[in-house]
Structure 1
Amino acid sequence: MKIVAVTACPTGIAHTYMAAEALEAAAEEAGHEITVETQGSAGSTPLTAEQLAGADVAIFAADVEVRDKDRFAHLPQVAVGVKKAISGGDLLVAQAEEAVRNHVPAPAGAPAAAAPAGVKAPGQNSSRSGPGAASKVRAWLMTGVSHVIPFVAAGGLLIALGFALGGYQINLPDDSPLYEQILDGGFDAGSITAWGALAFGIGSAAFNFLVPVLAGFIAYAMADRPALVPGFVGGAIAVTTGAGFLGGLVAGFVAGGLVMWIKTWRVPRALAGIMPVLVIPLLSTAVVGLLMYVVVGRPIALITEGLTNWLNGLSGTNAVLLGLLLGLMMCFDMGGPVNKASYTFAVAGLSTGSAGALTIMAAVMAAGMVPPLAMALATVVRKSLFSDVERENGRAAWLLGASFISEGAIPFAAADPFRVIPSIMVGGAVTGSLSMAFGATLRAPHGGVFVVPLMGNPLGFLVAVVAGTVVATALVVALKTFARRRPARPAAEDTVTTSATERETVTA
């Protein structure tokens, strides 16, 4: 059987490629051919027309909307979240086999045949066990967030670099900020302050795209290219009206929903050709702009202002408790929905530029580094508790953890969830609360130790990471050691005495 697959996750960094590897291994094990298109942050090599024409089935392992999904309309499809591919690639291949056996191609001009549970038939938008409404909304949102992250990373790091070179006074108002004064007066290549001003100006320009990009790509995920224009325009108006990140969310969903509705209209054949390039962008942009300016913008601006004031007002116990909660969420599913909810909250706060939001971003990144670092340390402290494969994964987890790739702990959590996950959650909670208590700040949404020089209170950040890592390591070692020392129970009371080897058995 020839399989084509697409993997994609919101950040496009770890899950995307881990899922691809899992699917390739499972397909090879089952004796099938597979070609995977990884729609990650590094770009993707699209499947060729020949590969699509010769395929028997398509597998989508994605937490965001798959790009150019119409290419697969002629194939039976299996669609799941990206984590299911990582932990159960063999099950997905089995579902693909079942999909091919049950697939009945629709005759030309006839409606598509009913699809078996969990499989999409050609021409169908959904199936009985396909993604529900909540999953679709989350995928649309994550598509927008995934496109925002590179802008936040580039802009945040450049702004931080500008502060590092030019000092914090670079953005203080005085007729115009210092960086604007310097750039208006001509660039002096021999001045460090001028270089800082230049970095700050470029970073600020990148940050200006955050909300429009978020809204535009939420709309794009919902209704494809015709929705890009109203989404971007709605996001730009959200910035103008002060509605910010929340306004961008609303603009994106409104634009996408409106375009989805317009695309259902039955229009004369003469208009069909110009609908996607003229009629739909014109009507949808006008309506979205009207709603954002007149109806939605100001109320959301008030909510955004309240959120900013709340973030800035966090201090003492409130800040520590929030850091503890965010740390627990970051370590619960390592890249899953709960982790992404915490991460998205932190990234959303960055668009406000408030001091409270910067401490939240630091706490979230610090906690997200703990799971792989803790497991890497545990494989060094007590090698005997881990298999050869786990010790090999532990060596890779050092770099993954240092780079803020929480997914490095997934192999350990999958093998022993009841001991690993609670341990790293406690460690993450310690790290998140300490980071907030120390007041560490961060403008970049990614990077791990590689962005430490550009942090506020980097020493506090590192102390928080080390403390949480040590706590999580101690707990997981203690729990695994306790489990190993428990003797195996005989199968029955009259069973003969167990052998020495059996007495050493580790009980689950």
Structure 2
Amino acid sequence: MELKDLFQSKVSVFQADLKTKEEVINFLVDKLSVEKMITNKKTFKDAILKRESEASTGMGDQIGIPHAINNVVKEPCIAFVSLKSPIDWQSLDNKPVDLIFMIATNDEKGEAHLAALADLSKYLMKPEIQTALRKAKSFKALQSAFENKVEIKKIEVKQGKYDVVGITACPTGIAHTYLAEEKLIEYSTELGLSVKIETQGRRGTENRLTQEEVDSAKVVILAHDKNIQGMSRFGGKQIIDTTTKDAIFNGKKLIEEFGKTDKTIIAKAYKSNDDEGSDDFSLKKFAQVKGNLLAGVSRMLPFVVAGGIILGIGFLIDFAAGNGNAGGDFGTISPVAGWFSAIGKTGIMLMVPILAGYIAYTIVGPQGLMPGFIAGVYADGLGGFAYSSKPGGWSGMWSILFPLNDKGETIIPMQSGFIGAMVGAYAAALIVFGLTLAFRRFKKSFHGIRDIVLIPVLSLLGISLTMFVLNIPLGYAMYGIQQFLKLLAEHNLLILLGAILGLMMCADMGGPINKIAYVTGTLSVSGGLGDNPLITVTMAAAMAAGMVPPIGIALCTLLFRNAWTTKEKDSAKANWLMGAFFISEGAIPFMVTDPKRIATSAMVGGTITGLMVGGFKITLGAPHGGIAVFPLLKSGLVDLTSGAAIGLGVGLYILSIIVGVTTMVLILGFWKTHDIKKGKFVIAN
């Protein structure tokens, strides 16, 4: 795709009589809406205004480039208007503008349009093109101005060593990133210096600087308005660390006076990490909570999706083989089903440790991966070495330190689930951070011992002690909740019990509260809550409510498409299968990124579903399986031994799930849409 192909005649206007910045933005957004290039005018305008509030899009030379990346954009394009009289745009050079290019993109059309947009800044910097654009009175003249390729003249590089190197990066990675790059190249060329500029824009890292190129450069300029990756390359070297605005307007002076003014500083000796880790080893990374959680979720997601789908296949095979009444062994009776179930369980089993490991990794780099992963293992009780229901020998070596019943079984649940994993990940990162600072004065000859032995060993001991302490209060709290639910079940308060279980199943979707509700359900199946035939309403309510969050998210991404990112819509497709087979964990990645809206809507939907299941007295004799065990459902509204009990049970159960899912979808969808329109929530694809 060429740059001129992003312009369209129906959204290109010449010599318009507009007086203010607000008028121009409204005018161009209206044009895009009328021509159906955007599906929601309010959402797109809010995104434009949000970008304007972050930093001026007036690039100088009387040119403004307002821009937004949003999924309401149907087709990437550039809306253009030239003005009769220049207007104030709070430009970087404080000059009014008369040429405005509104970039509308959605990141769904691949790299071609991003490459074209990157060229826009390079074209607009040329005086001859600016003149042609101001004279243009037709769409053909506009296109003609962008038909000729812009040649970038550079000084020849000698022996692969550049005189000037740098990195440019801006928040959206579209305009200022490439504008600063172009200006630094232009200034360097004017001074007779060879130059290479790395850009960290919307297309990722381009023209990446090697360590050798950085080491041999005479001038190093980092022009950025956001954190940049790969800072370890500059540790201990002279650099100018500044903004894109400074590079655009004062770049020549920065180059000429490099090393002579107080703008030249010595870069920190950053820890070497790849682009996913943090090169900025400081406490500031701990405050970037959402980014840290997203990093963990992105690594956890494949385990959830792949494991959940394959586990569902195991359930399907066992159901087809007639093993739907296998109780707790459902999914393992048929050898073929068991083969698939083992794969699925293994994938899901690693979900929580991976989440914790990569949260810690994002904060403090590779040294955080091991203690973070271990925190997740303790939080989820993985392996059974530390926690086990029946400790002894190599099993439950921590559990044995706590009260046991007369059968030698632990009576206190010690797992804190993914909530404990997230807290543990931060604890692990803090431990690594503290140890690194404590050992920072080690001589270089001892760095190997420090990094390979001391920090790993001490961080493992530190996070183990932390999680041992952290899981104690959570364990007692969960034990108390379980006993309360058992009391409700024993007194046949089925409607209340169903509502509470429904709420708990959706509170943390696979976390400790969810697990308490689920374990209570399984106790009813195994007889642990008494012999009353209606007691398995507990299991039915827990399973129905647990199906609500993943199915609700999947449906919401279809009915409220503009309220979700492209990545979320793709990931949610797997939730149909996971929800159908009662794998609540499919909702966790979504809840972590938007806990307020998703958790609240899911809890409302789950509570309604649980209440209906309790009210309809629906029983279930299997502890898992989702739709595969629906034939085992019965309703106590009629004689449980009759055939009508099964038919009524299945029908009312499906109705309960539909009502709960619908409730969740409507609350979540309208809530997100409302907040998007009000600017309280921004969808950034």
Return the TM-score normalized by structure 2. 0.39
Greater Cα radius of gyration, structure 1 or 2: 2
Return the TM-score normalized by structure 1. 0.49
